[in-house]
Chain A
Amino acid sequence: MSSNLRSGSSFRDPSGFLFARGGILYRQVNHSYRPTYDRLIDSGLYHELVDAGELIPHDVARVAPAEPRLASLVLQPERLTFVSYPYEWSFSQLKDAALLTLTLQKRAVARGLCLKDASAYNIQFHQGRPLLIDSLSFDVWKEGVPWVAYRQFCQHFLAPLALMARVDVRLGLMLRLYIDGLPLDLTGRLLPGSTRLQPGLLTHVHLHAASQRRFAGTAPASHTSARMSRNALLGLIDSLESTVRGLTWSPGGTDWADYESTHNYSPAALEHKRHLVAGYLAKVRPSLTWDLGANVGTFSRLAAEAGSATIAFDVDPSAVELHYRRCRSEGESRVLPLLLDLTNPSPAQGWDHAERLSLAERGPADAVMALALVHHLAIANNVPLALLAETFAGYGRALIVEFVPKSDPQVQRLLASREDIFPDYTVEGFERAFRSTHRIRSEDKIEDTDRILFWMEKR
């Protein structure tokens, strides 16, 4: 009998849970939720959302449930290539996920249902678009009752978007600290006073926080006789939607956004580098590639063109934002740009460190690309080359890596303000460090530069 591995992030909702068996992910639907699940299907909402690409499709699986005592049904959802988290999304990714959540709520209400949660973690980017991955997120809507997930929506989406747009885009990373979204009182204190003049932010952040303070620990029924009519609920969704749409942020001012136009490759060198990388990819034939330090995705695109789903990580919020907008406008569904600081990658967190997976736990990929990156890690961050080799080996089987020597102007720039304490930072030192973990399959100097490209395979 194969064993069941219950997902560490799937324990809050008694409607059901995720479990893995034989490498396949299933979702058990419990008896208590079965009538609502039937309503989702019978109302036509499931098909409407799946056809619109807004809900993950699933099949009813003819397999034994993980907990037969509770089980009514087992679903097999379509497989995701990669699970990403809101603290890894750019501003527009979080905004698109927020708008999708409100669209789902509107469509649900139109069919007599509603969203019973509005967690940003229930949204995933799949084939270039955000979609809801939790088919058990719906409930039967009862007129008169306020939206149960209003607080969660404001904490998971509105608060971080407001801080990113009105204070600093890097505050999106606060989602990493607060697993159930940003506290609204804290958000209110961090936002500029002028946000009190905007009706949407005044209502959903400032007044919302004040209301939470005022009514903490009391029963709602003892305070008001008001009911939430259908129009009031639709008005609430409308108001949230226009508030979210009103929040905008455009890249600029951070380090590398203009990197592509100002980097020091000649057209011939760039063309040669492209040619070499495409050649390695054709031999590796990865189905999943992690492009580390992808910037705006010039080389991620090559991996996608080689037929690989590609996760394009970069530390610069501007680069990730530009890359996402580009993928979205060009309909590039194979590349997922994400924000990641490799010197402090996303950790395992939440209850028992099992709710949100670390970056390493979400690997390995078939291929890892690290182009124009090693000098930033080895020199700007003092990571020894041997450690770098070990980490890259953990991330994927094949490695396409660029060595940028000390003679390169980019490295000169990094060394200009500090002492050179890196005697081993040479091609020989680099090869020596990587040979303990990798087999070098190809080594090519990029024309017009001193840089060297390597294709390696993990030992």
Chain B
Amino acid sequence: MMLLSESARMILVAPPAYLDPGSGSFLLQLLLAGILGGAFIVRSQWTRIKAFFRRLFRRGSSSEEHEQ
């Protein structure tokens, strides 16, 4: 309930737009917000994510070498 009123408040205080954004177009963005935001983070952090896994694998393979 808290969240709902927060959301309603956000939309009510939005700058007065002369363009009708359309309810369906507005809601589709809100419904997809999580996926879109997640995809953006993954994409913008992609080099760091790759580097993290590379390090992880390297560490894994070097520890295997130690075990031998």
Contacts and interface: CB of A to CB of B under 8 A. Distances in A.
B36 A235 contact: yes
Contacts of A144: 7, 10
Contacts of A92: none
Nearest to A153: B25
Interface in A193-228: 203, 207-208, 210-228
Interface in B1-51: 3-4, 6-8, 10-15, 17-19, 21-41, 43-44
Contacts of A231: 36-37, 40-41
Nearest to B33: A232
Contacts of A219: 23
A286 to B, nearest CB: 40
Nearest to A228: B33
Interface of B: 3-4, 6-8, 10-15, 17-19, 21-41, 43-44
A207 to B, nearest CB: 6
A211 B18 contact: no
B20 to A, nearest CB: 8
Nearest to A146: B29
Contact of A150 (B11, B12, B18, B21): B21
A220 B33 contact: no
B24 A145 contact: no
A215 B27 CA distance: 8
B contact face: mostly helix, strand, loop, or mixed: helix
Given A140-B15, A145-B10, A151 B21 contact: yes
A265 interface: no
Nearest to B9: A221
Contacts of A213: 24
A219 B8 CA distance: 9
A211 B25 contact: yes
A152 B26 CA distance: 12
A68 to B, nearest CB: 22
Contacts of A236: 29, 32, 36
6 contacts: A117-B18, A144-B10, A147-B21, A150-B29, A211-B31, A236-B29
Nearest to A150: B25
A207 B32 CA distance: 11
A215 B20 CA distance: 14
